Structure 1
Amino acid sequence: MSVLPWLQQYWDHLCDYRMQNRVPQALLITGNKGMGKQHLAKQFAFSLLCAKPQGNGLGCGHCDSCLLLTAETHPDFIQIGPDEPGKAITIGQIRSLVTRLTLKPQFESYRVTIVNPAELMNNAAANAFLKCLEEPTERTVILLITDKPAHLPATIVSRCQKLAIAKPDKETFFAWLKQQNVETLQ
């Protein structure tokens, strides 16, 4: 896997965090739908959990952690989203997350959680989620993804570092589509 070209500057920023041992405990990734926010978050999870990250910061794809991540069975990687499309993220899901985050990571790296789309937490879930942000466990990274940051409670937004993904320029986007052998009507 590689980073989408229009996300490279954001990827470099995330790699800087990692290289300087300043990985934020909570990162709010925002931007329009379809910009690759989930892709970027997963790449960052691979990078943080990989035993032997490549020079460009990407996961190696071959270590036990990367293989478990690819199979979506890594014990230190948690994804939270609605159980059904269009439904809310429930307090039960968040309570389960809070419980899991109290445990130490099974590998020696981080524990990474992706909440997507974060704005679908109902009020009770959002209030319970604050506990994760107010009392973070060591070596835990929470990545919240949303295209509607205004729909998140201010108490959650204020406790996160922000990464706002901008629309790619047309040249970069169409060059990438061409590279993927996708015909376009420009």
Structure 2
Amino acid sequence: MQLPNSFDFFNDIDRMTKLLSQFAQSKIAQAYLFIGSKHSFLNDFVRQLIGNILCGSELKSCGKCKSCRMYADAAHPDISYITLEENSNSIKIDEIRNLQIDVFQTPQCGKYRMIVINPAERLNMQAANALLKILEEPPEHTVFVLVADCLNNLPLTIISRCRRYFFNDHVEIDSYIELAKDYPNSEERASLFAAKDNIIARLNDVVVDELSFASVANEWTDYKIENIIWFLYLITAEAIKYLLLPDNKYDANFIKFANSQNIAKLYNQIDLLNAYIGKSQKNIVLNQTLALEKILLGYVSC
């Protein structure tokens, strides 16, 4: 069965069930690449798809067999997860080298071993090259599942060896800032949304010179650089929208910040933030404090 390579994905259980049944009727590939943001319900889909493959049922995992029970308890012996180590912004070659033993082991509970790499776009060059060698001649019993926010940093040689699916996130929101609200509570981006009032207050403090760039930048080093920059991008985009289309739905804290800016300055900030986001996606190591100080300076300078 031929599947589409792009899905418009909403918070719709019936639609997810339908897509999973379509996958069940198609031949299992050696490598999948799923591309979409974390709030496109892609991760929910991937989790269920892995459960279905491990169970071996026709349409969905039964939830009762030994394989399903171990998967539900996060104790399945036939799954290996590769993700970012703590305080690291890239997946390194040692993690892929350690994987090589798992790849060729015979499955213990069923027909397949699953190798899940998420976020795949965070593979550094050496790790990507090591993975490519495995994908060139993978054992028949191993299924690779790569999950990525974007394709910017994935080599074409890896992309071409995967069956690719794009998940489009048409999320209905009242503001750009609300994009962070739909992330799982375990994600730092959800924490940023919870702290949005404090973050906007700190921007106001910097603008009126109540706090220094250095003190605020140092406070924000508790966040991963790619996440705080992404959240500042949302705030900046929302401020542009407010200046173009004023609306009384905003609180006084945000209005104070937006009115302290002008559109030209904010567009310059968007360019700067995009530049840093691009560097982060390419796994370029950033000096977080200096980067944040430069960003904060942009909200003050004329």
Please indicate the TM-score interval, normalised by the length of the shorter structure: 0.7 to 0.9
Listed as ranges, the gaps of 5+ residues in structure 2 are 1-8, 173-181, 183-248, 250-302
**Are the structure 2 counterparts of residues 15 and 112 from structure 1 closer, same or farther at C-alpha, using a change threshold of 3 Å?**
farther
Q: Which residue of 1 aligns with 2:25?
A: 19
Q: What percentage of residue pairs aligned between the two structures are identical?
A: 33
What is the letter of the counterpart of residue 30 of structure 2? Answer: Q
| Number of matched pairs | 167
Preserved CA contact (<8 Å) 2:51 2:68: yes
TM-score, length-scaled by structure 2: 0.50
What is the letter of the counterpart of residue 161 of structure 1? Answer: R
Distance 1:134 1:154 in 2: 13
Deviation at 1:32, TM superposition (A): 2.4
Deviation digits for residues 23-79 of structure 1 (CA, Å, limit 9, x no counterpart): 11111100123112222111111001115x3x6x22122211111111111111111
Deviation at 1:19, TM superposition (A): 2.8
What is the letter of the counterpart of residue 39 of structure 1? Answer: D
Preserved CA contact (<8 Å) 2:31 2:144: yes
Distance 2:22 2:45 in 1: 14
Q: Which residue of 2 aligns with 1:160?
A: 162
* 1:1-186 correspondence runs (5 A): 5-6=11-12, 12-20=18-26, 22-50=27-55, 53=57, 57-84=59-86, 86-168=88-170, 170=172
**Are the structure 2 counterparts of residues 46 and 159 from structure 1 closer, same or farther at C-alpha, using a change threshold of 3 Å?**
same
Bigger relative CO (Cα 8 Å, ≥ 6 apart): 1
TM-score, length-scaled by structure 1: 0.78
Deviation digits for residues 128-147 of structure 1 (CA, Å, limit 9, x no counterpart): 00122111111221111111
Deviation digits for residues 95-143 of structure 1 (CA, Å, limit 9, x no counterpart): 1112211111112221112110001111111000012211111122111
Q: What SS class does the counterpart of residue 33 from structure 2 fall into?
A: strand
Deviation at 1:86, TM superposition (A): 4.5
**Comparing both structures, which one devotes a greater share of its residues to helix?**
2
Distance 1:12 1:44 in 2: 12
Listed as ranges, the gaps of 5+ residues in structure 1 are 171-176, 178-184
What is the letter of the counterpart of residue 126 of structure 2? Answer: A
CA RMSD after TM alignment = 2.6
Q: What SS class does the counterpart of residue 27 from structure 1 fall into?
A: strand
Distance 2:125 2:115 in 1: 20
